[in-house]
Amino acid sequence: MMEYVNAFLSMLGSMSPYLLLGFLIAGLLHAFVPSSIYSRYLAGTGLRSVGTAALFGIPLPLCSCGVLPTAVALRRSGASRAASTSFLIATPQTGVDSIAATYSMMGLPFAILRPVAALVTSLLGGLAVGHWERKGALDDVHDEANYEFSQLPKGLWNKVKETLRYGFFDMMQSIGRWLLIGLVVATLITVLLPDDFFSTYARWPLLNMFIIVLVAVPMYVCATGSIPIAAALMLKGMSPGCALVLLMAGPAANLASMFVVNKAFGRKATIVYLLSIIGGAMGFGVLVDYLPGMREVFTSALPCHVMHHHMATSWFTDACSIALIGMIVVALGAKYWKSYQIKLHKTTAMKEFKVKGMMCAHCKANVEKGLAALPGVEKVTVDLAKGTALVEGSVPDQLIIDCIEDLGYQYEP
């Protein structure tokens, strides 16, 4: 039992200082950078708009579900499908928090290549969609809704409070569970798999990459939660190219995102979206594994960060680990306590709607904001844990259902 505990604590200690820094930067971006800027420069279909969308998206710590309502809102605020697709591909693959955590667990080469790979794949995907968009060859998608972004808080003190709330509470609610799951899975891999497990299949790295793509693309794993899993698999003999495929393909897509992209952007754009993610991940994986000297560079950086579990931890990393776990517990506890309170105090005047596809705080905020904007709605309460929206007011049910689906989610009768 102690072997599992020690492995978990070692990984947590390696990541926690960088994660806390990343969450702080995420809060600063949210509180100080106007959201409207993302649509202002993203109306074109060429390299400038597509590249701007990718560069905006790379530092944002949004997961593959959280990025969906943002991308849909960008599209409805005037961004082209090319720029929106580029944003969709780049954003979930990385973020300021995951870049810092990647460096802490897997070394500088991975921390540099991960955002570079996200940029290249998003440019290719966005430009391909832009080419079809200019030719008018994309599917017609009916977009009526136009939900504006929220305004930044006014005053320095309000911005600071919003930075801390968003970075250390909302973000913890969004990815805290997946981060813990990633650490637990990595711990099990580290302890249970034989050290030579993947070295047995080292002769077929392309086969390994293909298997990883088949497993990682449909499932949900956030950019940060994928890091300890990839690091643990590399310690068991997986090639760095295969680990990079997991880091790129896993966070970039899941079944829910494919459905929403298809509905919001059309079938052809969805095909480009998936091919860009899969092709980019495997392409960069092949470069890392087959270019002379690259495999050694990436493999040699790993042991400095995660192999020496016996290395003594400092009081600083201990304090960061305690703070991180405490924040996750508080955020997730508040999330499920609110669910209980809603159930306890729900009034008969409120109508309940089942919403499929909400997976994080970004989804919750998007649904609440969209429904609250409907005429006749007096109050909206979204229960993320149960996947429901409670709506109070004199508004037709069908209008609420249409709004939920326009936002990119599914209504379940």
User: Do 99 and 170 fall within a single domain?
Assistant: yes
196 falls in which pLDDT band (50, 70, 90)? low
Residues 350, 205 share a domain:
no
Examine the fold and report which residue of 308, 323, 338 is the final residue of a domain before the chain moves on.
323
Instruction: Kindly state whether residue 136 falls inside one of the protein's structural domains.
Output: yes
Question: Does residue 186 lie in a domain region?
Answer: yes
Predicted confidence band at 312 (pLDDT cuts at 50, 70, 90)? very low
pLDDT score, position 342 = 57
Mean pLDDT value across the chain:
78
In a domain, 105, yes or no: yes
Asked if 217 and 249 count as a contact pair (C-beta separation under 8 A), the reply is: yes
Domain-embedded: residue 333:
no
Q: How does DSSP classify residue 46?
A: S
Catalogue the long-range contacts made by 306-312 (C-beta closer than 8 Å, 24 or more residues apart): 306/10, 306/11, 306/14, 306/105, 306/106, 306/231, 306/232, 306/235, 307/235, 309/6, 309/7, 309/10, 311/10
Residue 332 lies in a domain: no
Lowest mean pLDDT among 182-191, 196-205, 215-224, 352-361: 196-205
Is the confidence at residue 305, as pLDDT, over 60?
Answer: no
Find which of 135-144, 174-183, 393-402 is predicted with most confidence, using mean pLDDT: 393-402
Q: Which residue has the higher pLDDT, 274 or 204?
A: 274
238 shares a domain with 107 = yes
Instruction: Determine, yes or no, domain membership for 155.
Output: yes
Q: What is the DSSP string of 104-164?
A: HHH-HHHHHHHHHHHHHHHHHHHHHHHHHHHHT-SPP------PPPPPPPSSHHHHHHHHH
Residue-number span of the structural domain to which 380 is assigned = 346-412
Euclidean distance between CA atoms 79 and 117, whole angstroms:
23
354 three-state secondary structure = strand
- Which of 323, 358, 381 corresponds to the end of one domain? 323
Is 301 found in the same domain as 355?
no
Does any domain span residue 335?
no
Give the residues across from 392 on adjacent strands: 350, 379
For strands 377-383 and 388-393, give the pairing: antiparallel
Considering the domain architecture, whether residues 382 and 262 belong to the same structural domain is answered as no
CB 130 within 8 A of CB 50: yes
Confidence of residue 284 (pLDDT cuts 50, 70, 90): very high
In angstroms, the CA 249 to CA 76 distance is 27
Q: In the block, which residue shows the tokens 């801390």?
A: 164
Q: What percent of the chain has pLDDT over 90?
A: 8
pLDDT value for 150: 52
pLDDT above 70 for 347: no
User: Which class for 33: exposed (0-12), middle (13-18), buried (19 or more C-beta within 10 A)?
Assistant: middle
Instruction: Give the residue, 63 or 333, on which the prediction is more confident.
Output: 333
Residue among 54, 125, 50 at smallest CA distance from 276 = 125
Write phi, then psi, for 286 (nearest 5 degrees): -65, -40
pLDDT at residue 309 in the model: 42
Asked if residue 382 and residue 279 are part of one domain, the reply reads no
Domains: count for the chain: 2
Cα three-residue angle 249-409-224, rounded to 5 degrees: 30
Task: Report d(CA 69, CA 290) in Å as an integer.
Answer: 38
CATH classification of the domain holding 386: 3.30.70.100
Backbone angles phi, psi at 411, to 5 degrees: -90, 130
Mean pLDDT of 90-98: 84
Domain identity same for 54 and 147: yes
For residues 382 and 257, state if they share a domain: no
Q: Are residues 296 and 163 in the same domain?
A: yes
Residues 401 and 254 in one domain: no
Indicate whether 309 and 385 sit together in one domain: no
Q: Return the structure tokens found at 210.
A: 């293909």
Higher pLDDT, 140 or 177: 177
Looking at the structure, tell me whether residues 299 and 382 fall in a common domain. Answer: no
Residue at a domain's end among 261, 291, 323: 323
Is 390 part of any domain? yes
